[in-house]
Amino acid sequence: MAFYECTFVTRPDFSRADVQKLTDTLSKIVTDGKGSIVKTEYWGLRQLAYKINKMSKGHYTMLGIDCEAATLKELERNMGINEDIVRTLTVRADTMDTTPTVMMQSKSGDSYESHLTSAA
């Protein structure tokens, strides 16, 4: 099995409960395919870099997945036909770190942004 980071953006008119329900549905696809969800992160309602279908915001969610390629293909197929998902991005990772990503770290704490500003 291989590790993947799958990030998807849902419509801005969704509630957090709707996003969680969709995340649970996608997670079930992975677990039914004999894979596992290593971590799940909800990044919140964020501004999009450009408008997509007249939407300027979206709910971002990232799934850390350990699964076979066939399971990933089924997950991506289901995300592609779901009208509530605006965009997806899946990348393969060498290892899966269970610590929070940079997106989950607080801006006041030790974060990626503070390293960039202090290095400049």
Domain layout of the chain by residue ranges: 2-119
The 10s digit of each residue's pLDDT in 25-57 is 999 999 999 999 999 999 999 999 999 989 999
Q: Does domain 2-119 have CATH number 3.30.70.60?
A: yes
Q: Which residues of the chain have pLDDT under 50?
A: 108, 111-120
d(CA 103, CA 115): 14
Q: Where are the alpha helices (DSSP H) in 13-109?
A: 16-32, 69-81
pLDDT at 48 (0 to 100)? 92
Distance of CA 103 to the CA centre of its chain: 11
Tokens of 20: 């969680």
